Amino acid sequence: MARSDLLTFVWAILLFLTPLTNNMDLSMNGWFQVAEAELVKPDKFPVVVSTWPFLEAVRAAWRAVDNGSSAVEAVVEGCSACEELRCDGTVGPGGSPNENGETMIDALVMDGVTMEVGAVAAMRYVKDGIRAANLVMKYSQHTLLAGEGASTFAISMGLPGPMNLSSPESVKKWSDWKENRCQPNFRKNVLPANDCGPYKPNNGAMTVFGEKLTESCQMRKIEYRTPLVGPHNHDTISMAVIDKMGHIAVGTSTNGATFKIPGRVGDGPIAGSSAYADDEVGGCGATGDGDTMMRFLPCYQVVESMRRGMKPEEAAKDAISRIARKFRDFVGAVVAVDKNGSHAGACHGWTFQYSVQNPDMDDVQVYTVLP
């Protein structure tokens, strides 16, 4: 049957059904608009977007989603690949050690259809952060499990463990740091200021927005602290995937800031901070100084800004600028993707790169965003 004959036949059926349908727009123009949207939709999807040039992680997610996996499944595969590869030494086991020389993992997965979230924080003894987060979402009514409880739950649900998450590289990094009198570190307003502790409060000093006010504050002397977060000591993979059905999910994984205080939880497992997704709007991923960024929930801000009509680029820049107005020395970035697959990034304090693959690309493409 020719296309014109087929359309005529379908239109005749619709006209016949018109008396049976109240409040339905069955005009020829309206019907063609709906049909056209359905026809072009598969050409735009799937889409994979990730922070940083984590190419193998994006390829893993792409293979999964291109073969029919859901957005959630593809996010798990992509982030898991990054964990196995120890992306930049700050994702997965064997990466950034804390003050005690131990690697601990934060991870999150969020389903933009159901708005369900599963996350783990400060997880020890289990190497599969993103899979553990997914298990929390699938097999519990909780959103976030932390510490020993997260480890126990993940192992009980079938993940391998317990195991030592350190590596020769992380042990060497920690040993060198100890020899350097545990400097730099994330302590403030403590004594001794330039040693490994044990620490006690120094009530004669105070810090404001990264500036240390010395005891000679009355003389207006300010001693600036060196930023502790940079592109190679605090990276997070934050990934968004839109599957063939147009559904979106996001996920993150990180072992956090190098030499963090034991027990520290960053923005990685915090929904709305490191990542956020809503099928009606789009998604967002973030990376950088999580201790600062999590106070602003930048990814929630991005998605809500897009909901109000901002383009991805506008929404990303707006979220970053809100943080920069309060913390001028912070380093961080966000990448935004709307429900149609359009994407953009924004950053502050460093040059940011993010990776994309969609049906128009033969392989992953990396985009560079200047501060």
Could you tell me the domains of the chain? 47-169+227-366 (3.60.20.30)
Res 90: pLDDT: 84
Res 206: pLDDT: 52
Strand bridging mode 117-123 / 144-146: parallel
Which one has a higher pLDDT value, 229 or 126? 126
Token digits of residue 275: 């990542």
Q: Is the pLDDT of residue 148 over 60?
A: yes
- Indicate the burial class of 13 (C-beta count within 10 angstroms; 0-12, 13-18, 19 or more): exposed
Each residue's pLDDT tens digit, 208-223: 444 444 433 333 333 3
Strand bridging mode 47-51 / 352-357: antiparallel
Q: How many CB atoms lie within 10 A of CB 76?
A: 28
Would the CA dihedral through 198, 202, 203, 205 be positive or negative?
A: negative
Confidence of residue 228 (pLDDT cuts 50, 70, 90): low
Annotated binding site: 264-267, 287-290
- Indicate the burial class of 342 (C-beta count within 10 angstroms; 0-12, 13-18, 19 or more): middle
| DSSP secondary structure code for residue 332 in this structure | E
Q: How far apart are CA 22 and CA 24, in angstroms?
A: 6
Q: Is the pLDDT of residue 94 over 80?
A: yes
Each residue's pLDDT tens digit, 334-346: 999 999 999 999 9
C-alpha dist (Å) from residue 29 to 5, 25, 34, 36, 124: 17, 9, 9, 11, 59
Res 43: pLDDT: 78
With contact defined as beta carbons under 8 Å apart, do 86 and 79 qualify?
A: no
3-state secondary structure of 258: coil
Average pLDDT over residues 265-281: 97
- Determine whether 236 is an active site residue: yes
With contact defined as beta carbons under 8 Å apart, do 47 and 356 qualify?
A: yes
Amino acid, res. 22: N
Annotated binding site for substrate: 264-267, 287-290
- Indicate which residue of 236, 254, 258, 292 is catalytic: 236
- Indicate the burial class of 100 (C-beta count within 10 angstroms; 0-12, 13-18, 19 or more): exposed
Reference 225, options 174, 190, 188, 182; nearest CA is 188
Res 89: pLDDT: 82
Confidence of residue 162 (pLDDT cuts 50, 70, 90): very high
Average pLDDT over residues 98-119: 97
Each residue's pLDDT tens digit, 8-22: 444 444 444 443 333
Res 235: pLDDT: 73
Each residue's pLDDT tens digit, 43-79: 799 999 999 999 999 999 999 999 999 999 999 999 9
Give the burial string for 250-284 (b: 16+ CB within 10 Å, else e).
bbbbbbbbbbbeeebbbbbbbbbbbbbbbbebbbb
Reference 127, options 161, 100, 98, 102; nearest CA is 161
